[in-house]
A and B are shown apart, each in its own frame.
Chain A
Amino acid sequence: MLEIKNLHVDVDNREILKGLDLKLPAGEVHAIMGPNGSGKSTLAYVLAGKEGYEVKAGSITWNGEDLLAMDASERAVAGVFLAFQYPMEIPGVATMTFLRTAVNAVRKARGEPELSTPDFLRLVRDKAASLKIDAEMLRRPLNVGFSGGEKKRNEILQMALLEPSLCVLDETDSGLDIDAVRVVAEGVNALRSQKRAMLVITHYQRLLDYIVPDRVHVLSDGRIARSGGPELALELERSGYAEFGGAAA
């Protein structure tokens, strides 16, 4: 269970989150929707532990553990995974090297044995195939020269390899055509399980046609303004965010 209580967060001395409360039980998928500037990405970064996001008040616990006391890599070990809206390009780091370093760092920290090269290659090949990621892509430097869709598929590949228990997807559909959205959504759906909680952050309802959430929350001006079932997303699609103070996008 993810429990966020009365979360206040400042960025550059400006209050972005203003008392956010949220409960996300394991096994469920919740969507966070909201107008631009409502604090969606801030929430994603705060969960993942990015520096520069100052928590002024409130708490975040995951399965009872205090996430705010951990640095970013410790949170990853504790099961938190953020799929980035804009995955970073790192020239000079081969995608495979990166994946292996990450998988083994997490395994080591969780007290599991590191994977041998053949075991690792087999694991990557299996997971990559279902996401339509070919070997050539994995040989390239991390995300360098990747299309938008390739980058997002690479994010989901990392998610599949690291086996997180709390997945946060930040605008995973942004910049993708409908075929790419479908591939990515299938990858995400394959990871849905009773032990795993997912927070899907999105501006548009489209992604939720493919990743159907259990609950939908509307984030507005740093707080959850309204919560409901999947039908809330459809309603927002029709009416827009005007009633939540959002300008037309």
Chain B
Amino acid sequence: MDLPVQQFRTKAEQGFLDAFAKVEKELPGNDWAAGLRRKAIQAFGSLGLPHRRIEAWKYTDLRTRLTDAFPPLLGGHVSKNALAELLGKPVAKLPAYRVVIVGGSLQPELSDLAALRAEGVEVLSLAEALEGPLSWVKDHLGKINPQSDDAVIALNLALMSGGIALKLGKGATLDKPVHLIHVADNREPASSFTRHVIVVEEGASLDLLESYASLGSAASLGSTVTEALVSDNAALNHVKLQVEHPDTTHLSAWLIGLKRDARYNGFQFSTGAGLTRNQINAGFDGEGSAVNISGAFLMRNKQHCDTTLLVEHRVPHCSSRELFKVVLDDEARGIFQGKIIVSPNAQKTDGKQMAGALLLSESAEFDSKPELEIFADDVVCGHGSTSGQIDEDLLFYLESRGIPADEARALLIQAFVGEAVELIESEGLRNVLNRAAADWLGVKLDETTIAS
């Protein structure tokens, strides 16, 4: 018996629709951009926030968890002191072309756009890119490996205010990575919507770093979408470091498209946000390409972190590798969903994924859901998932060398996470991430000392 389904909107869903109506006129962009936004908000309106009956959101029911639509922030800023504190951190000190985005607004005076242009890179703020769009922006914005049934990505497109559009020309490389520094302006409850469009042209190679930090402590929502196209024979090394306030909600999607003989290495390191959704969607549209997606997240208290990957092998002769390391303490919840789809014609596909979790408390929970949808008959695909506690034999080995139990435990957790971090090529970046892991563990050690 079919019951009539009554459509109703949650407070947050209605809130976002109302917010869009209210700020639509203030959002950057010409008629073309306004058209994109209106289509996107319509899509969001009919999809609604994702909930647990949508398989890709099974463990992160945004309909229940997002109770408020915080007002979208246009023109966020932070104090000079606060920013100086942030930029004093090791991650911000890495040699890079910096692009600073505060509360979803690009800060031109803090960003190295001119230096990038001097290197021959085409780069615009998203606001500029939406005003009089260049053909390459028009061709790619909202079109790189689009996930048309994803309401969060649609909402981001409707409300996007900050970000960059960047194109690295044929055969080009840069002497330093491009570093997108995202600062949540959460002095009061607000939401921000950031979108980046990255095009790496034929034979070019780009190192892209995204970092996320919060300086305030009010509840806030940050939504970021990075679209990146890796053209024939091009390479993109893409790393994310997310260390945010526990009252923050972080919704992120990387939409990656690969042409022929392209290389994509993605890495995500996270210690939260309170609620984190890190989504990576990579799609092969050219033969002979490879993606490596790896990462680590460490969560405690009631933090929730959901990493969801979708790799679509649409053409033959491509390979994908995924490795994630998860550390969960207290009542934290970690989710790893890795889906590999192999189309009927995508013969000779080679896909492997692995997720491992270390549970430091009996109340922590790890949900791992690998999914293989294989429609071709000549492929190699595999997945694995482990979860367990710290190995007591290893712990004893370290303790027997005079290393106190707490320190030994921290060393083993670092080692566990390190297996993923080692996959990053840049030593400078590896050091920053290892230090972020140590910071996380350091806090833990202090707490233990206080408790005992």
Chain A residues packing against B (C-beta within 8 Å): 48-52, 71-73, 75-77, 81-82, 84, 87-88, 90-93, 98, 101-102, 105-106, 109, 141, 158, 162
Contacts and interface: CB of A to CB of B under 8 A. Distances in A.
The B interface is mostly helix, strand or loop, or mixed, namely helix
Contacts of A102: 398, 401-403
Contact of B401 (A51, A92, A158): A158
B400 A82 contact: yes
Interface stretch (B58-66, B189-197, B339-347, B407-415): B407-415
A109 B404 CA distance: 10
Contacts of A141: 415
Contacts of A109: 402, 404
A141 B416 CA distance: 12
Contact of A88 (B394, B403, B417): B394
Given A50-B396, A71-B399, A72-B396, A92 B422 contact: yes
Contact of A73 (B392, B399, B415, B416): B399
A155 B399 CA distance: 14
Contacts of A90: 394, 397-398, 412, 415
B370 interface: no
A98 B400 CA distance: 12
Nearest to B413: A92
B394 A105 contact: no
A92 B419 contact: yes
A75 B396 CA distance: 12
Contacts of A84: 397, 400
Interface residues of B, number: 24
Interface of B: 392-394, 396-405, 407-408, 411-412, 414-419, 422
Given A50-B396, A76-B399, A105-B402, A91 B411 contact: no
- Pick from B396, B398, B401, B415 the residue with the most CB of A within 10 Å: B401
B415 A76 contact: no
| CB-based closest 7 A-B pairs | A92-B415, A76-B402, A92-B418, A106-B402, A72-B399, A102-B401, A88-B397
A87 B415 contact: no
Contacts of B396: 48, 50-51, 72
B435 to A, nearest CB: 14
Contact of A101 (B393, B407, B418, B419): B407
12 contacts: A50-B396, A73-B404, A75-B400, A76-B399, A84-B400, A90-B397, A93-B415, A101-B403, A105-B401, A105-B404, A141-B415, A162-B402
Contacts of A105: 401-404, 407
A77 B402 contact: yes
B414 A73 contact: no
A109 B401 CA distance: 12
Contacts of A72: 396, 399-400
Contact of A93 (B393, B402, B411): B411
A41 B415 CA distance: 28
Given A73-B405, A105-B401, A106-B402, 8 more contacts: A73-B400, A73-B403, A75-B400, A90-B398, A92-B414, A93-B414, A105-B402, A105-B407
Q: Which of B393, B398, B400, B405 has the most CB of A within 10 A?
A: B400
A91 B400 CA distance: 18
Contacts of B416: 92
B403 to A, nearest CB: 5
A92 B296 CA distance: 14
A246 to B, nearest CB: 27
Nearest to B401: A102
B192 to A, nearest CB: 36
A55 B415 CA distance: 32
Contacts of A87: 397
Nearest to A86: B393
Contacts of A75: 400
